Amino acid sequence: MRIRTILRTNAGVWLTLPLTLLAVAYIANFTRSADPYPVAVTAAGLAALGFVVPICAALGAWEGGRLRRGGTWDLPTVRSRYVIAGWALGPVVAAGCVSVVAAVLTSTLASGVAVPDWRPVLVAFLVVLAHSAAGFALGILVPTALAVSGSLLASFVWMVFLRGLDPMWLRYLNGGAIELCCDISTDLAPSAVSGPLVVAIGLLAAAGLTLATTRAGLQRRALALAPLLVALVIGSMLVSELSAYPAVPRDERQLLCSDRDQIRVCVWPEHEPRLAEVAGLAAKAWAGWRAAGVSAPTHFTEGQDGVPPDVLRFSFAMRSSPSVIVSGFAYAMLPPWPACADFGPYLGFEAFEYVHAWYAAHGGLPEDDLRSMYQASSGPDRPPVIELVDQVLAQPLDVQRRWLAANVAALESCEMEPQLSLSAPNS
Amino acid sequence: MLKFEDVSFAYRARTDVLRSFSWNVPAGRTVLLGPNGAGKTTLLSLGSNALNPVSGRVCLGELDPARRRDRAAYRAAVGWMPQVIKPLPGLTCREQVAYAGWLKGASRADAWNHALDALSKVALADHADRSVSQLSGGQLRRVGLAQTLVHNAQVLLLDEPTAGLDPAQRGKLRETLALMPSDTTLVVSTHQVDDLGDLFDRVVVVDRGRMVFDGDVTSFMDLAPDGSIRRAEAAYSQLISGES
């Protein structure tokens, strides 16, 4: 068909601009990644798939319906059905892909990332293509009104409602849940890419077989669904190991490290502009804790390698203030959450804020920031954090260390009462 | 030459429409007569390769559309105007005809250029930029005819081109058919015997999937009893009992 005719008559062409603007507005309105981490900010752009894909499916159904009404499939054509479908579907797929790219670029550029990660984009493109083709196939089989509404609804349910179903890994079959990837210390799980890709290819194959069997009997037409069923089984096997987030630990070899004043600080490449500053804060915190007589690791890292207390794992965002970073160091000094707390009462939990405030104060957190952080923090049965920590800080260091040791012990166990005064354990 | 060799065909859950049907379609203009349900549409659909025979074969010279490698060439060589013309929503007349040419394998540019020629042949050039959906039934049929002309087919199979047209529209369509190139094999199906006129070289009559007459127009007319006033109808009645 003549290109100008396609541009004039194809629904995909007409809706490219509105769909793109909608996708941009949607992404600009609610996603803001704190870090310029390409895979995370690219994945965030995929939030638009929830409506871009169903609309493409409906547009595909509309175009399929047009060809059906025009009797194209009844004609003995020289051009193959796939070529004919390709030209009818091309603008629809292009509309979806342009919208996805616009949404992704909105997300990445807002975070200062110029080049998106290709993996989420690949999944999004294939999902758009598969749903558009499936809509098209439905459009050539059933009346247009039914095909358009059915495609829109089925695609929307698949893209949006799947996320609310159990088991949790079901959400990864549609490709949309890639938007949940990733914090800076994780990378996109390969199976979160391969799973939806396999399902999308299966859907595409089913749509293709449907095109080839429009005049076949019901049994042969039903067989066209076989690739989709096989793909769902394979895709399920691929994603069934994924948990709430489609992420795996990031390759630690990417960490960039600074060695200064006997302190080694490692951050992810996206944080490199602040490495020197963070290294200074880390050295200051370490020196403060040493001066207070507390042992602290000399290796601060954003990675997952190493086991506390040999390393201090911390994280921050590019926009984090120095106080937030020091506060993060202080959190990292706290003992890990005890396993017993998952199954019963955790009496030591109340010591959490007091111990953190103490570490933060000795780690170099300015007093004003400490006060604003814990200004309103108190409870009916416990003293205000600032009040108690001020009292503790006014004591000799050996008293402070005894108070700290008692509360750290309470944090590490579930039965021990925390010491929320300087004299005796809190009752 | 278009050939039907021992062709049988049945739609699903129906008895045979055609059974061991053979026919060498001659060059020139042939009218295909028969009552409703005789198998005319099926025959032309098989000839166009819109349908495939259950057994037997349809071929054009050496081209056998059952063979994958011949199919495209066969389809490009045969133009088919179905009984119902379904325009693609949103297209103009020229776009519709160009689309048909593109479907038949012509390049976009060729299809676009030839579309105007084809519309000229059916006297619709001045409607080229009009939406197909605004056309009358007769104009739509002429667009359908233009669609078969746009790709310069060797064989044209027209299924009931005058059905549903008023006498004036039928007259115009017959004028158009009369202007067809003489080297084109033209088969026109109709159940209206008065369409014969002096337009056709041969007459073929089918009934219940069988060919009951194949001859020139004079031989056909000779079947009419002496003294018949409407000779074509009378001849036809001799072949198809109970029809007129």
Per-residue pLDDT tens for B121-173? 888 899 999 999 888 888 898 899 999 999 889 999 999 888 777 787 778 77
Extended strands (E) in A155-281: 186-188, 247-249, 256-260, 263-267
Contacts of A5 in chain B (CB under 8 A): 91, 95, 98-99
- Residue A79: which pLDDT band, with cuts at 50, 70 and 90? very high
Q: Which of A211, A21, A76 is nearest to A135 (CA)?
A: A211
Task: Tokens for B79, please give them.
Answer: 């133009």
CA gap A239, A67 in Å, rounded: 37
Q: What is the pLDDT of residues A300-337, one digit of tens each?
A: 999 876 666 688 999 998 889 999 999 999 999 998 88
Q: What is the pLDDT of residues A264-273, one digit of tens each?
A: 999 999 999 9
Q: Report the range of poorest mean pLDDT among A99-113, A355-369, B12-26.
A: B12-26
CA gap A274, A280 in Å, rounded: 10
CA gap A137, A117 in Å, rounded: 31
| Number of neighbouring beta carbons within 10 Å of residue A50 | 17
Which of A78, A140, A218 to mutate to test binding with chain B, by most B CBs within 10 Å of its CB? A78
**Cβ <8 Å between A72 and B88:** yes
**Cβ <8 Å between B98 and A71:** no
Task: Tokens for A119, please give them.
Answer: 């993996």
Q: What percent of chain A has pLDDT over 90?
A: 64
Contacts of A79 in chain B (CB under 8 A): 102-105
Return the percent helix, strand and coil in chain A, to nearest 5: 65, 5, 30
How would you classify the pairing of strands B202-207 and B210-216?
A: antiparallel
CA gap B196, B228 in Å, rounded: 16
pLDDT of residue A187: 93
Of B72, B80, B84, which is closest to A78 when you measure between CB atoms? B72
Cβ-count burial of A268 within 10 angstroms (0-12 exposed, 13-18 middle, 19+ buried)? buried
Q: What is the pLDDT of residues B31-89, one digit of tens each?
A: 999 888 888 999 999 999 999 999 999 999 999 999 999 999 999 999 999 999 999 98
pLDDT of residue B170: 78
pLDDT of residue B209: 86
pLDDT of residue A379: 65
**Cβ <8 Å between B103 and A72:** yes
Q: What is the mean pLDDT of chain B?
A: 88
Which of B60, B75, B102, B155 to mutate to test binding with chain A, by most A CBs within 10 Å of its CB? B102
User: In degrees, to the nearest 5, what angle opens at C-alpha B39 toward C-alphas B75 and A140?
Assistant: 55
CA gap A406, A410 in Å, rounded: 6
Contacts of B80 in chain A (CB under 8 A): 75-76
Of A5, A69, A75, which is closest to B89 when you measure between CB atoms? A69
**Cβ <8 Å between A76 and B91:** no
pLDDT, mean of residues B212-221: 89
Q: What is the pLDDT of residues B176-186, one digit of tens each?
A: 888 877 788 99
- Residue A380: which pLDDT band, with cuts at 50, 70 and 90? low
Identify any residues that bridge with B204 across adjacent strands, giving them in sequence order: B32, B214
One-letter identity of residue B74:
Y
**Cβ <8 Å between B12 and A217:** yes
Over the range B106-138, which residues count as b (16 or more CB within 10 Å of their CB) and which as e?
bebebbbebbbebbebbbbbebbeeebeebeeb
pLDDT of residue B218: 87
| Number of neighbouring beta carbons within 10 Å of residue B72 | 17
For B68, the closest chain A residue by CA position comes to A78
Instruction: Name the interface residues of A facing B (CB cutoff 8 Å).
Output: 1-3, 5, 8-9, 66-67, 69-72, 74-79, 84, 217
pLDDT, mean of residues A60-69: 95
pLDDT of residue A99: 97
Say yes or no to pLDDT of A295 above 50: yes
Scanning B88-127 for CB atoms below 8 A from A yields 88-91, 95, 98-100, 102-105, 108, 111-112
- Smallest CA–CA distance, residue B212 to chain A, in Å, is 28
- Give the 3-state secondary structure of residue B215: strand
For A85, the closest chain B residue by CA position comes to B103
Q: Where are the domains of chain A?
A: 3-249, 251-313, 334-427
Contacts of B104 in chain A (CB under 8 A): 77-79
Read out DSSP for A30-92? Answer: H---SS--HHHHHHHHGGGHHHHHHHHHHHHHHHHHHHHHTTGGGS--SS-HHHHHHHHHHHH
CA gap A109, A44 in Å, rounded: 12
**Cβ <8 Å between A78 and B87:** no
User: In degrees, to the nearest 5, what angle opens at C-alpha A39 toward C-alphas A34 and A44?
Assistant: 60
Contacts of B49 in chain A (CB under 8 A): 76
CA-CA distances (angstroms) from residue B31 to A239, B21, B152?
65, 17, 20
Q: Which of B204, B175, B181 is nearest to B191 (CA)?
A: B204
pLDDT of residue A426: 46
Of A1, A70, A74, which is closest to B50 when you measure between CB atoms? A74
Of A66, A74, A77, which is closest to B88 when you measure between CB atoms? A66
Contacts of B84 in chain A (CB under 8 A): 71
How would you classify the pairing of strands A256-260 and B185-190?
A: unpaired
Q: Can you tell me the ipTM of this complex?
A: 0.89
pLDDT, mean of residues A252-263: 89
Q: What is the mean pLDDT of chain A?
A: 90
Q: Provide CB contacts within 8 A for A35, sequence distance 6+.
A: A41, A111, A184, A270, A271, A317, A318
Say yes or no to pLDDT of B104 above 60: yes
- Give the 3-state secondary structure of residue B167: helix
Q: What is the pLDDT of residues A182-219, one digit of tens each?
A: 889 899 999 999 999 999 999 999 999 999 887 777 78
pLDDT of residue A424: 53
Q: Report the range of poorest mean pLDDT among A18-32, A122-136, A187-201, B8-22.
A: B8-22
**Cβ <8 Å between A78 and B82:** no
pLDDT of residue A219: 80
Contacts of B76 in chain A (CB under 8 A): 78
pLDDT, mean of residues A384-409: 89
For B65, the closest chain A residue by CA position comes to A76
Touching check for B49 and chain A: CB below 8 Å? yes
CB–CB of A309/A386 below 8 Å?
no
pLDDT of residue A373: 83
Scanning B222-241 for CB atoms below 8 A from A yields none
Say yes or no to pLDDT of A132 above 60: yes
pLDDT, mean of residues A361-390: 82
CB–CB of A347/A328 below 8 Å?
no
pLDDT of residue A258: 92
Say yes or no to pLDDT of A378 above 70: no
Is the pTM of the predicted complex or chain greater than 0.80? yes
Q: Provide CB contacts within 8 A for A404, sequence distance 6+.
A: A294, A355, A358
For A83, the closest chain B residue by CA position comes to B103
**Cβ <8 Å between A72 and B75:** no
CA gap A107, A153 in Å, rounded: 27
- Smallest CA–CA distance, residue A214 to chain B, in Å, is 13
Say yes or no to pLDDT of B28 above 80: yes
Read out DSSP for A360-380? Answer: HHHTT--HHHHHHHHTT--BT
**Cβ <8 Å between B48 and A71:** no
Identify any residues that bridge with B9 across adjacent strands, giving them in sequence order: B18
Touching check for B11 and chain A: CB below 8 Å? no
pLDDT of residue B162: 82
pLDDT, mean of residues A372-391: 79
**Cβ <8 Å between B50 and A79:** no
